[in-house]
A and B are shown apart, each in its own frame.
Chain A
Amino acid sequence: MAVFGPGAQDPWGDALGALRRIQEEMNRTLGGVDTGAVAGEYPPVNIWRGEHGIIVAAEMPGVSIDAVEVVVHQNTLTIKGRKDAEAKASAASYHRRERVSGSFARTIALPFNVDASKVKATADAGIVNIELPRPESDRPRRIHITSA
């Protein structure tokens, strides 16, 4: 579970991303046990933070929005779905198979509780953008300072 908190910095983001790709590559090359699930944390996400909430942009090419389930519970966001391989015909033979496929689920901890009814998810060219507005009661407030 990726933890995303206020002020969280991610100096390892790049290194971890590279490591994850190498691991995926090795899993594919070495065969491994086919569990029918995507190995590792999937989908990769970019998280944008703003005054009114956060946007989670999940990169999942080839996954239609109808096949994605977005669940918000208190301060956690779960993205669930299935990434299917293309060829269904048994006659098809692969020359190259680089895309990962299988089921996936990822839970991300959010820095605030989210009102599930206000969450919006839209898809654009293989990227699913999930808008999570911060509830009014939870927003930081500027304190007016008066001189004595």
Chain B
Amino acid sequence: MTERQSGTGAGAARGGAEATRTRPIYTPAADIYDTEDALVLVVELPGIRADELDVRLDKRVLTIAGHGSAARYEGYSLAVCEYKPGDYERTFNLPDMIDDEAIEAVMKDGLLRLTLPKAKAGPARTISVKVG
């Protein structure tokens, strides 16, 4: 599984349209590992809820985009800022062996876990050779 060069970020995924929001767009940290029957993708998206997340598969290209809303506390002002809430976007190229229909996505504690089951390889076929 390879990562795409997503230099244009948000724009590329939405048909070239520039994002009009002023929040920064981050590339979220991800773990990718292989088990016997699946490829697992774990992506950190702090501040993003399940309904603010868009996971899209177009041919072999998997795009993860999260657009949250900044935390606001009534009557409070920000005094120390060590992280800036933002949007997230990252694109991956999937290998061919993935069973697209069985992909599972679970969001919990700001962590997205995508399970991409490996497709069963079809039985080997013998091609009969005719005498021409």
B-binding residues in A (CB < 8 A): 2, 4, 8, 10, 13-14, 16-17, 44-52, 54-55, 57, 59-65, 85-87, 89, 91-100, 123-127, 129
Contacts and interface: CB of A to CB of B under 8 A. Distances in A.
B110 interface: yes
Given A64-B109, A94-B33, A46 B45 contact: no
A86 B46 contact: no
Given A4-B79, A46-B82, A52-B75, A125 B48 contact: yes
B110 A126 contact: yes
Nearest to A93: B34
B35 A48 contact: no
Contacts, number: 134
A17 to B, nearest CB: 6
A64 B111 CA distance: 10
Contact of B42 (A8, A99, A126): A99
Interface residues of B, number: 35
28 contacts: A10-B79, A13-B80, A14-B81, A45-B83, A46-B81, A51-B75, A55-B73, A59-B47, A60-B110, A61-B111, A85-B31, A86-B33, A87-B33, A87-B40, A95-B33, A97-B33, A98-B31, A99-B30, A123-B109, A124-B49, A125-B45, A125-B47, A125-B48, A125-B49, A126-B46, A126-B48, A127-B46, A127-B110
B82 A17 contact: yes
Interface in B13-29: 29
Nearest to A101: B31
Nearest to A7: B79
Contacts of A16: 82
B71 interface: yes
B83 A59 contact: yes
Contacts of B80: 2, 4, 8, 10, 13, 45-47
B71 to A, nearest CB: 6
Contacts of A94: 31-34
A68 to B, nearest CB: 10
Contacts of A85: 31
B124 interface: no
B82 A86 contact: no
Contacts of A93: 33-34
Contacts of A57: 71
A43 to B, nearest CB: 9
Q: Which 5 A-B pairs have the closest CB atoms?
A: A126-B110, A61-B110, A50-B76, A62-B111, A126-B46
B34 A95 contact: yes
